[in-house]
Protein backbone atom coordinates (compact mmCIF):
# COMPACT_ATOMS: atom_id res chain seq x y z
CA UNK A 1 0.00 0.00 0.00
CA UNK A 2 1.43 3.36 -1.10
CA UNK A 3 0.76 6.85 0.21
CA UNK A 4 -0.80 9.31 -2.25
CA UNK A 5 -1.12 13.02 -1.52
CA UNK A 6 -4.09 14.53 -3.35
CA UNK A 7 -3.89 18.32 -3.48
CA UNK A 8 -7.18 20.13 -4.03
CA UNK A 9 -10.49 19.13 -2.47
CA UNK A 10 -12.94 20.16 -5.16
CA UNK A 11 -15.30 17.59 -6.65
CA UNK A 12 -12.73 15.87 -8.88
CA UNK A 13 -9.89 15.90 -6.36
CA UNK A 14 -12.18 14.45 -3.70
CA UNK A 15 -13.59 11.79 -6.02
CA UNK A 16 -10.08 10.70 -7.00
CA UNK A 17 -8.97 10.66 -3.36
CA UNK A 18 -11.95 8.53 -2.36
CA UNK A 19 -11.38 6.08 -5.20
CA UNK A 20 -7.64 5.75 -4.60
CA UNK A 21 -8.17 5.33 -0.84
CA UNK A 22 -9.77 1.98 -1.60
CA UNK A 23 -6.24 0.75 -2.42
CA UNK A 24 -3.79 3.17 -0.75
CA UNK A 25 -3.35 5.61 2.12
CA UNK A 26 -4.47 9.07 0.96
CA UNK A 27 -3.93 12.56 2.33
CA UNK A 28 -6.46 14.97 0.83
CA UNK A 29 -5.22 18.55 1.17
CA UNK A 30 -7.18 21.79 0.91
CA UNK A 31 -5.89 25.28 1.56
CA UNK A 32 -9.05 26.48 3.32
CA UNK A 33 -8.97 25.43 6.97
CA UNK A 34 -12.72 25.88 7.30
CA UNK A 35 -13.36 23.55 4.38
CA UNK A 36 -11.00 20.97 5.91
CA UNK A 37 -12.71 21.25 9.29
CA UNK A 38 -16.08 20.67 7.67
CA UNK A 39 -14.83 17.59 5.82
CA UNK A 40 -13.28 16.17 8.96
CA UNK A 41 -16.53 16.50 10.87
CA UNK A 42 -18.70 15.10 8.08
CA UNK A 43 -16.15 12.53 6.84
CA UNK A 44 -17.39 13.70 3.45
CA UNK A 45 -17.16 16.76 1.19
CA UNK A 46 -20.69 18.18 1.30
CA UNK A 47 -19.55 21.45 -0.28
CA UNK A 48 -18.62 19.81 -3.59
CA UNK A 49 -19.62 16.14 -3.56
CA UNK A 50 -22.63 15.53 -1.34
CA UNK A 51 -22.63 13.03 1.50
CA UNK A 52 -20.47 10.25 0.03
CA UNK A 53 -18.47 9.08 3.04
CA UNK A 54 -14.68 8.89 3.36
CA UNK A 55 -13.15 5.59 4.40
CA UNK A 56 -10.49 5.15 7.09
CA UNK A 57 -7.61 5.28 4.58
CA UNK A 58 -8.41 8.90 3.70
CA UNK A 59 -7.16 11.70 5.95
CA UNK A 60 -7.89 15.39 5.36
CA UNK A 61 -5.19 18.02 5.91
CA UNK A 62 -4.85 21.79 5.68
CA UNK A 63 -1.08 21.71 6.27
CA UNK A 64 0.75 20.99 3.02
CA UNK A 65 3.89 19.63 4.65
CA UNK A 66 1.86 17.11 6.63
CA UNK A 67 -0.05 16.05 3.53
CA UNK A 68 3.17 15.54 1.55
CA UNK A 69 5.07 13.74 4.30
CA UNK A 70 5.99 10.22 3.17
CA UNK A 71 4.07 10.51 -0.10
CA UNK A 72 5.04 8.10 -2.87
CA UNK A 73 3.07 10.13 -5.42
CA UNK A 74 1.52 13.59 -5.49
CA UNK A 75 -1.71 14.08 -7.41
CA UNK A 76 -2.37 17.78 -7.96
CA UNK A 77 -6.00 18.68 -8.66
CA UNK A 78 -5.89 22.41 -7.93
CA UNK A 79 -7.26 24.71 -10.67
CA UNK A 80 -4.83 25.52 -13.47
CA UNK A 81 -4.65 29.15 -12.33
CA UNK A 82 -3.12 27.93 -9.05
CA UNK A 83 -0.96 25.14 -10.49
CA UNK A 84 2.30 27.10 -10.64
CA UNK A 85 1.86 28.28 -7.05
CA UNK A 86 1.33 24.75 -5.71
CA UNK A 87 4.43 23.52 -7.56
CA UNK A 88 6.43 26.34 -5.98
CA UNK A 89 5.08 25.36 -2.56
CA UNK A 90 6.01 21.70 -3.10
CA UNK A 91 9.50 22.69 -4.21
CA UNK A 92 9.92 25.03 -1.21
CA UNK A 93 9.22 22.08 1.09
CA UNK A 94 12.02 20.13 -0.63
CA UNK A 95 9.58 17.37 -1.59
CA UNK A 96 10.83 15.39 -4.58
CA UNK A 97 8.01 12.85 -4.92
CA UNK A 98 6.72 12.43 -8.48
CA UNK A 99 3.81 14.70 -9.41
CA UNK A 100 0.80 13.95 -11.58
CA UNK A 101 -1.70 16.72 -12.25
CA UNK A 102 -5.36 16.33 -13.13
CA UNK A 103 -6.18 20.00 -13.78
CA UNK A 104 -7.00 21.05 -17.33
CA UNK A 105 -6.66 24.24 -19.33
CA UNK A 106 -4.04 26.90 -19.97
CA UNK A 107 -2.47 29.17 -17.39
CA UNK A 108 -4.14 32.60 -17.39
CA UNK A 109 -2.08 35.38 -18.99
CA UNK A 110 0.89 33.18 -19.96
CA UNK A 111 -1.23 30.81 -22.15
CA UNK A 112 1.03 27.96 -21.03
CA UNK A 113 -0.16 24.39 -20.73
CA UNK A 114 0.44 22.61 -17.41
CA UNK A 115 3.40 20.62 -18.76
CA UNK A 116 5.13 23.89 -19.69
CA UNK A 117 4.53 25.23 -16.18
CA UNK A 118 5.89 21.98 -14.72
CA UNK A 119 8.99 22.19 -16.90
CA UNK A 120 9.65 25.74 -15.73
CA UNK A 121 9.03 25.08 -12.04
CA UNK A 122 10.31 21.51 -11.60
CA UNK A 123 12.80 21.16 -14.44
CA UNK A 124 13.36 18.33 -16.89
CA UNK A 125 12.81 14.94 -15.19
CA UNK A 126 15.78 13.55 -17.13
CA UNK A 127 17.95 16.06 -15.29
CA UNK A 128 16.27 16.30 -11.89
CA UNK A 129 15.06 12.72 -11.52
CA UNK A 130 11.67 14.01 -10.30
CA UNK A 131 9.06 12.60 -12.66
CA UNK A 132 5.85 14.41 -13.54
CA UNK A 133 2.90 13.97 -15.87
CA UNK A 134 -0.80 14.48 -16.58
CA UNK A 135 -3.99 12.55 -15.87
CA UNK A 136 -6.92 13.25 -18.18
CA UNK A 137 -9.91 11.65 -19.86
CA UNK A 138 -13.72 11.45 -19.87
CA UNK A 139 -14.46 11.64 -16.16
CA UNK A 140 -17.22 13.21 -14.11
CA UNK A 141 -16.59 13.21 -10.36
CA UNK A 142 -20.23 12.39 -9.61
CA UNK A 143 -19.98 9.12 -11.54
CA UNK A 144 -16.56 8.02 -10.29
CA UNK A 145 -17.61 8.47 -6.66
CA UNK A 146 -20.76 6.43 -7.26
CA UNK A 147 -18.64 3.49 -8.38
CA UNK A 148 -19.50 3.79 -12.08
CA UNK A 149 -16.86 2.65 -14.63
CA UNK A 150 -14.40 5.41 -15.56
CA UNK A 151 -11.35 5.27 -17.86
CA UNK A 152 -8.61 7.90 -18.08
CA UNK A 153 -5.11 8.30 -19.50
CA UNK A 154 -1.92 9.05 -17.58
CA UNK A 155 0.87 10.67 -19.60
CA UNK A 156 4.52 11.03 -18.61
CA UNK A 157 7.61 11.43 -20.77
CA UNK A 158 9.33 8.43 -19.18
CA UNK A 159 7.52 5.29 -20.34
CA UNK A 160 8.49 3.19 -17.33
CA UNK A 161 7.26 5.82 -14.87
CA UNK A 162 4.08 6.36 -16.90
CA UNK A 163 3.31 2.66 -16.66
CA UNK A 164 4.16 2.43 -12.94
CA UNK A 165 2.13 5.51 -11.97
CA UNK A 166 -0.86 4.33 -14.02
CA UNK A 167 -0.71 0.95 -12.29
CA UNK A 168 -0.58 2.67 -8.90
CA UNK A 169 -3.79 4.62 -9.55
CA UNK A 170 -5.57 1.88 -11.49
CA UNK A 171 -8.21 -0.15 -9.67
CA UNK A 172 -11.82 -0.57 -8.54
CA UNK A 173 -13.99 1.26 -11.09
CA UNK A 174 -11.10 3.45 -12.32
CA UNK A 175 -9.21 2.13 -15.36
CA UNK A 176 -5.97 3.99 -16.10
CA UNK A 177 -4.18 3.70 -19.44
CA UNK A 178 -0.71 5.17 -19.99
CA UNK A 179 1.11 7.06 -22.73
CA UNK A 180 4.20 9.22 -23.21
CA UNK A 181 2.38 12.01 -25.10
CA UNK A 182 2.17 14.62 -22.35
CA UNK A 183 1.53 17.40 -24.87
CA UNK A 184 -1.40 15.63 -26.53
CA UNK A 185 -3.06 14.69 -23.25
CA UNK A 186 -2.64 18.27 -21.99
CA UNK A 187 -4.07 19.81 -25.15
CA UNK A 188 -7.05 17.45 -25.17
CA UNK A 189 -7.93 18.35 -21.60
CA UNK A 190 -7.77 22.07 -22.37
CA UNK A 191 -9.42 22.48 -25.76
CA UNK A 192 -12.34 20.11 -25.15
CA UNK A 193 -13.74 22.62 -22.65
CA UNK A 194 -13.87 25.30 -25.34
CA UNK A 195 -15.75 22.95 -27.64
CA UNK A 196 -18.19 22.06 -24.85
CA UNK A 197 -19.18 25.74 -24.59
CA UNK A 198 -19.82 25.73 -28.35
CA UNK A 199 -21.86 22.51 -28.08
CA UNK A 200 -23.87 24.02 -25.23
CA UNK A 201 -24.66 27.09 -27.33
CA UNK A 202 -25.80 24.85 -30.18
CA UNK A 203 -27.98 22.75 -27.89
CA UNK A 204 -29.34 25.82 -26.14
CA UNK A 205 -30.45 27.25 -29.46
CA UNK A 206 -32.29 24.03 -30.27
CA UNK A 207 -30.13 23.08 -33.24
CA UNK A 208 -30.48 19.37 -32.52
CA UNK A 209 -28.38 16.22 -32.66
CA UNK A 210 -27.03 16.71 -36.18
CA UNK A 211 -25.52 20.06 -35.28
CA UNK A 212 -24.05 18.74 -32.01
CA UNK A 213 -22.39 15.82 -33.82
CA UNK A 214 -20.95 18.20 -36.40
CA UNK A 215 -19.69 20.52 -33.66
CA UNK A 216 -17.95 17.67 -31.85
CA UNK A 217 -16.37 16.30 -35.03
CA UNK A 218 -15.09 19.64 -36.27
CA UNK A 219 -14.04 20.48 -32.73
CA UNK A 220 -11.91 17.34 -32.74
CA UNK A 221 -10.31 18.54 -35.97
CA UNK A 222 -9.44 21.87 -34.35
CA UNK A 223 -8.09 20.16 -31.24
CA UNK A 224 -5.91 17.87 -33.35
CA UNK A 225 -4.53 20.71 -35.51
CA UNK A 226 -3.69 22.71 -32.42
CA UNK A 227 -2.04 19.79 -30.65
CA UNK A 228 0.02 18.66 -33.62
CA UNK A 229 1.29 22.22 -34.06
CA UNK A 230 2.57 22.03 -30.47
CA UNK A 231 4.26 18.67 -31.05
CA UNK A 232 1.58 16.18 -29.99
CA UNK A 233 0.89 12.86 -31.68
CA UNK A 234 -2.34 12.94 -33.75
CA UNK A 235 -3.24 9.44 -32.49
CA UNK A 236 -3.67 10.79 -28.96
CA UNK A 237 -6.72 12.76 -30.04
CA UNK A 238 -8.49 9.58 -31.09
CA UNK A 239 -8.15 8.27 -27.53
CA UNK A 240 -9.62 8.91 -24.09
CA UNK A 241 -7.88 12.24 -23.51
CA UNK A 242 -9.00 13.49 -26.93
CA UNK A 243 -12.22 12.21 -28.49
CA UNK A 244 -13.35 10.52 -25.27
CA UNK A 245 -13.16 13.62 -23.09
CA UNK A 246 -14.51 15.81 -25.89
CA UNK A 247 -17.62 13.65 -26.40
CA UNK A 248 -18.35 13.48 -22.68
CA UNK A 249 -17.91 17.20 -22.07
CA UNK A 250 -20.03 18.17 -25.07
CA UNK A 251 -22.92 15.85 -24.19
CA UNK A 252 -22.85 15.06 -20.46
CA UNK A 253 -25.36 16.47 -18.00
CA UNK A 254 -22.64 17.28 -15.45
CA UNK A 255 -20.55 19.37 -17.87
CA UNK A 256 -20.05 22.84 -16.43
CA UNK A 257 -18.66 24.17 -19.71
CA UNK A 258 -21.63 22.88 -21.71
CA UNK A 259 -23.86 24.52 -19.11
CA UNK A 260 -22.13 27.85 -19.76
CA UNK A 261 -22.97 27.48 -23.46
CA UNK A 262 -26.58 26.55 -22.73
CA UNK A 263 -27.06 29.63 -20.60
CA UNK A 264 -25.28 31.91 -23.07
CA UNK A 265 -27.73 30.74 -25.71
CA UNK A 266 -30.61 31.75 -23.45
CA UNK A 267 -29.28 35.31 -23.32
CA UNK A 268 -27.77 35.34 -19.83
CA UNK A 269 -24.63 37.38 -19.20
CA UNK A 270 -21.37 35.54 -18.61
CA UNK A 271 -20.95 37.19 -15.21
CA UNK A 272 -24.36 35.96 -14.04
CA UNK A 273 -23.68 32.46 -15.39
CA UNK A 274 -20.36 32.13 -13.60
CA UNK A 275 -21.78 33.46 -10.35
CA UNK A 276 -24.53 30.86 -10.45
CA UNK A 277 -22.31 27.87 -11.30
CA UNK A 278 -20.51 27.57 -7.98
CA UNK A 279 -17.69 25.60 -9.65
CA UNK A 280 -14.85 26.49 -11.99
CA UNK A 281 -15.66 26.24 -15.72
CA UNK A 282 -12.13 26.01 -17.11
CA UNK A 283 -13.21 26.63 -20.70
CA UNK A 284 -14.13 30.25 -19.98
CA UNK A 285 -10.55 31.20 -19.11
CA UNK A 286 -8.99 28.76 -21.55
CA UNK A 287 -10.71 30.05 -24.69
CA UNK A 288 -8.88 33.38 -24.92
CA UNK A 289 -5.54 31.73 -24.18
CA UNK A 290 -6.05 29.03 -26.82
CA UNK A 291 -7.07 31.65 -29.37
CA UNK A 292 -4.00 33.74 -28.60
CA UNK A 293 -1.70 30.76 -29.02
CA UNK A 294 -3.50 29.56 -32.16
CA UNK A 295 -3.07 32.98 -33.76
CA UNK A 296 0.63 32.99 -32.91
CA UNK A 297 1.05 29.56 -34.54
CA UNK A 298 -1.29 30.38 -37.47
CA UNK A 299 -3.57 27.44 -36.63
CA UNK A 300 -7.11 27.76 -38.01
CA UNK A 301 -9.65 27.33 -35.18
CA UNK A 302 -12.99 28.77 -36.32
CA UNK A 303 -15.10 27.30 -33.49
CA UNK A 304 -12.69 28.54 -30.85
CA UNK A 305 -12.65 31.94 -32.52
CA UNK A 306 -16.43 32.28 -32.33
CA UNK A 307 -16.57 31.10 -28.71
CA UNK A 308 -13.92 33.70 -27.87
CA UNK A 309 -15.95 36.37 -29.64
CA UNK A 310 -18.94 35.53 -27.45
CA UNK A 311 -17.00 35.26 -24.17
CA UNK A 312 -14.61 38.17 -24.53
CA UNK A 313 -15.86 40.50 -27.27
CA UNK A 314 -19.59 40.89 -26.70
CA UNK A 315 -20.80 38.93 -29.69
CA UNK A 316 -24.19 37.26 -29.33
CA UNK A 317 -24.37 33.47 -29.34
CA UNK A 318 -26.83 33.63 -32.23
CA UNK A 319 -24.50 35.74 -34.40
CA UNK A 320 -21.57 33.44 -33.62
CA UNK A 321 -23.47 30.37 -34.78
CA UNK A 322 -24.67 32.11 -37.94
CA UNK A 323 -21.12 33.15 -38.78
CA UNK A 324 -19.95 29.54 -38.36
CA UNK A 325 -22.71 28.32 -40.66
CA UNK A 326 -21.86 31.02 -43.18
CA UNK A 327 -18.23 30.02 -43.62
CA UNK A 328 -17.21 29.17 -47.18
CA UNK A 329 -17.50 25.58 -48.36
CA UNK A 330 -14.30 23.52 -48.14
CA UNK A 331 -12.96 19.97 -48.19
CA UNK A 332 -13.19 18.04 -44.96
CA UNK A 333 -9.88 17.49 -43.24
CA UNK A 334 -7.88 17.80 -40.07
Kindly state which CATH superfamily the domain 3-180 is placed in: NAD(P)-binding Rossmann-like Domain (3.40.50.720)
pLDDT tens digit sequence for 250-282: 999 899 999 999 999 999 999 899 888 866 678
Predicted local confidence at residue 158, as pLDDT? 96
Predicted local confidence at residue 334, as pLDDT? 66
Contact 2, 27 (CB under 8 A): no
Segments making up each domain of the chain, as ranges: 3-180, 189-325
Predicted local confidence at residue 308, as pLDDT? 96
> pLDDT averaged over the chain?
94
Q: Which of 192, 268, 315, 330 is catalytic?
A: 192
Contact 303, 222 (CB under 8 A): yes
pLDDT tens digit sequence for 67-113: 999 999 999 999 999 999 999 999 999 999 999 999 998 998 898 99
How far is the C-alpha of 138 from the C-alpha of 189, rounded, in Å?
9
Runs of H (alpha helix) within the chain: 11-20, 33-42, 46-49, 64-68, 83-92, 114-122, 125-128, 141-144, 159-169, 182-204, 208-230, 245-251, 256-265, 270-277, 282-297, 302-312, 317-325
Active site residue 112: no
Give pTM, 2 decimals.
0.93
Residue 143 has pLDDT above 80, yes or no: yes
With a CB cutoff of 8 Å and minimum separation 6, the contacts of 263 are: 200, 204, 273, 276
- Domain 189-325 fold is 1.10.1040
In this structure, the chain runs to a length of: 334
Q: Would you tell me how many other CB atoms lie within 10 Å of the CB of residue 46? A: 12
How far is the C-alpha of 243 from the C-alpha of 295, rounded, in Å?
23
Residue 193 has pLDDT above 90, yes or no: yes
Amino acid sequence: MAKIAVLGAGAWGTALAMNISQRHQVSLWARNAGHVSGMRKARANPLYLGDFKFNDNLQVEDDLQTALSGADLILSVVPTAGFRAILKDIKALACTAPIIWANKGLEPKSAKLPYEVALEELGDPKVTGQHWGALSGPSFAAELVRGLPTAVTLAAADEAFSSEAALLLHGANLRVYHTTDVIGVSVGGAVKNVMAIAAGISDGMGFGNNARAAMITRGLAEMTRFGVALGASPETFMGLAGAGDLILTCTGQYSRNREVGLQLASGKSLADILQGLGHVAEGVNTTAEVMCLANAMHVDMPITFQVDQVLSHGKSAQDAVMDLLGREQKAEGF
